[in-house]
Amino acid sequence: MKKPLLGLSMMPEPEFVSAILPVLQNNSVDVLEWSFDTLFDSEEPEWLSGLLDFYAENGRLLGHGVYYSLFDARWTERQEIWLEKLKKELQLRKYNHITEHFGFMNTENFHQGVPLPVPLHPKILQIGKDRLRRLQDAVEIPVGVENLAFSFSVDDVKEQGAFLSQLVEDIDGFLILDLHNIYCQSCNFEIDMREIINMYPLEKVKEIHLSGGSWQESAYGKKPVRRDTHDDRIPEAVFEILPEVLSQCENLEYAIIERLGHTLNTETDQQIFFDDFKRVKEIADAAGNSSGQENIWNKKEEGAHVKPVEDLLLFDEQTKLTQLLFEERSSQSVKDQDFHYFKPENWDEEMITTAQQIIKKWNPY
């Protein structure tokens, strides 16, 4: 197989670039991934612009969106503006591809957090395909979607691979397979990582993400919940399965390590990061050689679109669910809700509580 290019998810904090300077200076970072929409409304620091421009000019910059929200049930001006800003970003610098997260995260009053999963339903799939097509229409480069770490139930975990496969097929899109997200699901629902990974269309995986996370104490005196917090070492279980995943993903091009910018402040943290980077590099180097067949992608042209697909019932349910989680209702109260699309009666109480904590963290008022 072709050896993947090894890279980092770039962070805007000056202390992050100071910490990663050794691997930048010895040319170990083949590619950078940048979450372009995190600074849409802010000015980039000069040092950051220079670094991103350098990688873009050498054909080694990937774009990773955070705030588009593929499954918002209503199409709003916010999404229109997001796409216009993306177009301007692509005029400024060249990206190899653009990716977004599975799930929804923006309802009327909640604008930050992590994406929440949606069930595999024909109408919801139709909305996701519509949003993805509009994203693809805005750019002349490949578009992909990343799997989620957070799930409400084992059904979410088991559906996601098939859901993602159907989601990207109309645009000849691809997947990011985040192995720590798989690890979180494995720990939280006691399913073997290999079993989850084999539910995904691995031939569509073009990029993998590797990161660490943290444990959240159980609210019910059970086992702790694994969270994808990007603030610690890559787990041993992820390293152990990595060679196997590299061999299974025949169209893999990139392996990206993620770490939050403010979590590399001590020498110990920096050494852990460098050890992880070195170990990933050794595994990637052993996986194959640098030569290999280039993947050819051609944009599918489908002409002008009809008006955006919307579903007001789903929008009402997304809004109600987010409100319930924000208000920290009891898990049983959430499970007792009568929804058409969501099936809270099947949700894990522990994961409902985790979702409440995430939403409160990002929307404290």
Run means of pLDDT, 10 residues per run, the chain, 365 residues: 92 94 96 95 92 98 95 94 96 97 74 80 97 96 97 96 97 97 97 98 98 90 90 97 97 97 94 97 86 72 79 95 89 96 96 89 59
- The two three-digit tokens of residue 300, written as one number: 């599918």
**Closest by Cα among 237, 245, 261 to 48:** 261
| Domain residue ranges of the chain, discontinuous segments joined by + | 5-293
β-strand 205-210 against 61-64: which pairing, if any?
Answer: unpaired
Both ends of the chain: CA-CA distance in Å?
A: 50
What are the C-alpha distances in Å from 227 to residues 27, 128, 151, 358?
A: 31, 25, 11, 10
Beta strands (DSSP E) in the chain are: 5-10, 31-34, 61-64, 98-101, 143-146, 174-178, 205-210, 214-216, 225-227, 254-257
> How far apart are alpha carbons 352 and 174 in whole angstroms?
30
Question: Per the confidence metrics, is the pTM higher than 0.85?
Answer: yes
Residues 198 and 158 sit within 8 Å (Cβ to Cβ): no
Question: Which pLDDT belongs to residue 113?
Answer: 62
β-strand 214-216 against 225-227: which pairing, if any?
Answer: antiparallel
**Closest by Cα among 104, 83, 101 to 40:** 83
Question: Which pLDDT belongs to residue 244?
Answer: 97
> How far apart are alpha carbons 202 and 160 in whole angstroms?
13
Question: Which pLDDT belongs to residue 230?
Answer: 95
Question: Which pLDDT belongs to residue 362?
Answer: 64
Q: How deeply is 288 buried, as exposed, middle or buried, from its count of CB atoms within 10 A (0-12, 13-18, 19+)? A: middle
Question: Which pLDDT belongs to residue 281?
Answer: 97
Question: Which pLDDT belongs to residue 233?
Answer: 97
- Choosing among 3.90.1150.10, 3.20.20.150, 3.30.565.10, 3.30.420.40, the CATH entry for 5-293 is 3.20.20.150
pLDDT in tens, 193-208: 999 999 999 999 999 9
Question: Which pLDDT belongs to residue 365?
Answer: 47
SS3 330: coil
Residue listed under structure tokens 């992820």: 238
